[in-house]
Amino acid sequence: MYQAILDHIRKYVVLTQEEEELLCQNLEYKKHPKKEFLLEAGKICNRKLNEQIIHFAIENWWIADQDSLMTGQPSACTIQAIEETEVLLLPEKNKADLFRQVPVLETYFALIMRKAFVAAQRRLGYIFNMTDEERFRHFSSLFPEFMQRVPQYMLASYLGFTPQFMSRLRAKKN
């Protein structure tokens, strides 16, 4: 697990062995059974809203409610394990000190945030410029294995479809 994150970070920046150890000391290893909540939405909202899938996170991905971390407000989001999941958590409170000791990690996280921003912008572009069916085909072509891995109703929600509409698209494809 620690090896996997170091391999991943090495794709972007160079860390000394001492810096790698500092990073690992600041990470918390957690294991979550399927369906367990990693983050539960704050109790601000009393209404039972429709569940909307905003993101998936697979191997080597970071996931967090950046909105809540940035504003300090309780999260309106829930993060749930849809498979048995191992995570390495970098607590927000550790970041400032860690970045001071290992500045290159700030460079790494800035790159990751830039990638996430570009992905969000692309997704907005797909929503505005593609039909629902084009968006489905595009996503299927980019992530064929992932399409098989997650519950279909979650994928439908992520893409902004009803499960019924997605079933029809899948049927057309086969």
Q: Rounded CA gap, 156 and 162, in Å?
A: 6
By the rule CB under 8 A, 138 interacts with a second copy: no
**First-residue to last-residue Cα distance in the chain:** 37
Contact map string, positions 141 to 170, toward a second copy, x by CB under 8 A: -------------------x----------
Does the protein bind a second copy through residue 118 (CB under 8 A)? yes
Cβ-proximal residues to 159 (8 Å cutoff; 6+ apart), any chain: 132, 135, 136, 139, 166
Which is closer to a second copy, CB of 99 or CB of 143? 99
Q: Is 66 in the site for a second copy (CB under 8 A)?
A: yes
- Residue ranges that bind a second copy, judged by CB under 8 A: 49-50, 52, 54, 66-67, 70, 99, 103, 106-107, 109-110, 113-118, 120-125, 127-129, 160
